[in-house]
Amino acid sequence: MEPLLVYYSSPTLNTHRFAQSIGIETRRIPISMKETMESPDRPYVLMTPTYADDDGSKAVPKQVIRFLNSPENREPLIGVIGGGNRNFGELFAHSAAVIAKKCNVPLLYKFELSGTPQDTDNVKNGVRRLWESLKQTTQQKNTGT
């Protein structure tokens, strides 16, 4: 099994462009609240942009909240990556911090807008290392070592 990246991207497509640049299998959370999405079939990393008011409320897109409200979608979540705009200051990529805290998973990385080539390399390498670590942990549990 290979790593999986589940992401949400608004019509601006910033997060979509970044997700596609990583070279890992992706699944996109639909923009339309009427569309359904099949639950992930393995552990995954979630990537989401931030849309926040001045106080940080409403940082997590409604589509992502809806997706994570399903236990079948929330249970295999192993980490979160946040996108945003540094103009938001301390609220930069705030949605990822909110999700990490609520779902008790690590906030793995933050990137701005569509990310840079360095961001792409960092995320690609980080997700692959996380995946290898997860596979080793699973193998150790299965062999009792």
pTM of the predicted model as reported, rounded to 2 decimal places: 0.90
Q: How far apart are the first and last CA of the chain?
A: 22
Q: Please list the pLDDT of the chain residue by residue as tens digits (145 residues).
A: 788 999 999 888 989 999 999 999 999 999 998 998 999 999 999 999 988 666 767 789 999 999 999 999 999 999 999 998 887 778 888 999 999 999 999 999 999 888 999 999 999 999 989 988 888 876 667 766 5
Query: Residue 104 is part of which domain span?
Result: 4-143
Dist CA 77 CA 21 (whole Å) = 21
CATH number at residue 54: 3.40.50.360
Provide the pLDDT for residue 61. Answer: 92
Per DSSP, 51 falls in state -
Number of domains in the chain: 1
pLDDT of residue 53: 67
